[in-house]
Chain A
């Protein structure tokens, strides 16, 4: 049991403890290095009438609601295309996976430059086919789609997990489907998709959790703007705590983010019975 000691300490001190503490702090005012001051449910009442909070909630929902399903779909499409032993597949796999390695500030900067309205590659390409590109990050309607495009570009990890899932489907199932006269499309629809539904489920759950965390590009590229179009919940938490020194209120939004994440995860678990198919997939 001594082996588990680091985790027992870590769970109590770094995960469970801080979460309870966030909950406790959400009822207080705490300014750096002072004693927390009890405020009761005041922050929660503020929250309800705080328009920025609702904007941040909407933005996070918008980002996650588009990026996660679309990203999973694209990753599945790529994995299906690559799941052949034709020459060159390894090279393509590497190319599609590479973007997943470069999260962080560096790629956010590249993205901003790519979508630069005047000197960027995107508007230059649009110009070549006779289209007039928008102002992207400077335009409240287009700023979030730019961040979504960055999220969709970085789906290499999802694709690799799908590829592993596809390769674990027994060949006999395809042979049987073929005997029954199923063509390629029917086999994909009735064998492949059900057999990897548990992978899809896992990827949707994990994807939602991480999409609700969107912070770095929103902070680096737009700092929540323009007109708060990219203000996400984590960014609003960060601003409250570290820019406005409102740790108590930041903790209140944190509690909402935790609840939201858990609610979405539980809802997905509940819905999973309807569409996720578990074959006897060995020891899990």
Chain B
């Protein structure tokens, strides 16, 4: 974030008492927000007998990876991770490609039809996804697509309202002259998209890819409804069935929950600086 001019910000460090008060509040809140992560990590690394000691043991003394090893082999977690990575990749590719193309169309070509379509995008953003759970299941099961990834992934290839909106805002912020110049050079509409719009909107693409990764990786309802055999399970569904079978084995559940979170936490840590930039069109830089 450094280098970005902050406006409406308290620039002065303020008085010492005020400063200490703010930092104390922030530290207390940070501890509260980190506690669940700490509790998960501590449980995952504790030897089994310490997990179920009473009163609970806050500082994990002897650390061990035994829980990870035992949990990992209790169910085919390797398979779940591969499946989830596969579904996530297909979902992200579909979301980014289709949403950006549609957003480009809506941003570049006006007219009544485009406006009407934009209204349908906004309206769909307001409809709860659960609203179409049953009818979609009826359609996809009639097509014989249950226990496959098609009903989970395919809808993302038709554009996702929130991301269409995001891309449209970004593409509209590109000065018209860029497109005019490219058109003079004989660029086709697809060239305009690939050679002008895409390179100028990288933050939007990265942000959309990150957010759709989160959505796909954490999705539970769709896999729950459509997938029925263990070899097809995603990580969230695998964890849910793991919980069903090992309800009392918290020392095995925590390491697996931790592993399930790790990829998205790492990904966002790597892509963090893009998130803020990707949410608002900003061509000054």
Measuring CB to CB, which residues of chain A are less than 8 angstroms from any residue of chain B? 1-4, 6-11, 13-19, 21-22, 25, 30, 32-33, 78, 81-86, 88, 90, 92, 94-96, 98-99, 101-107, 109-111, 113-114, 116, 118-121, 124, 127, 153, 160-161, 164, 166-171, 173-174, 192, 205, 209, 212-213, 215-216, 219-220, 233-234, 237-238, 241-242, 247, 250-251, 254, 257-258, 261-262, 265, 283
Contacts and interface: CB of A to CB of B under 8 A. Distances in A.
5 contacts: A6-B102, A102-B218, A104-B218, A106-B235, A167-B9
B221 A153 contact: no
A132 to B, nearest CB: 13
Contacts of B265: 98, 101-102
Interface of A is mostly: helix
B8 A119 contact: no
A84 to B, nearest CB: 5
Given A22-B135, A119-B250, A167 B8 contact: yes
Interface of B is mostly: helix
Contact of B134 (A14, A81, A247): A247
Interface in B1-47: 1, 6-11, 13, 19, 22-23, 25-26, 29-30, 33-37, 39-40, 43
Given A14-B155, A81-B26, A110-B257, A220 B243 contact: yes
Contacts of A94: 269, 272
A30 B134 CA distance: 11
Given A21-B138, A114-B39, A251-B135, A257 B128 contact: yes
Given A6-B158, A11-B124, A109-B239, 11 more contacts: A7-B102, A30-B138, A81-B22, A101-B261, A105-B220, A109-B253, A119-B56, A168-B8, A238-B133, A238-B221, A242-B225
A83 to B, nearest CB: 6
Chain B interface residue bracket vs A: 35 or more
A58 B25 CA distance: 35
A95 B33 contact: yes
B189 interface: yes
A110 B114 contact: no
Contacts, number: 269
Given A4-B114, A30-B138, A119-B54, A171 B218 contact: no
Nearest to A172: B7
B181 interface: no
B102 A3 contact: yes
A242 B236 CA distance: 18
Nearest to B31: A95
Contacts of B105: 1-4
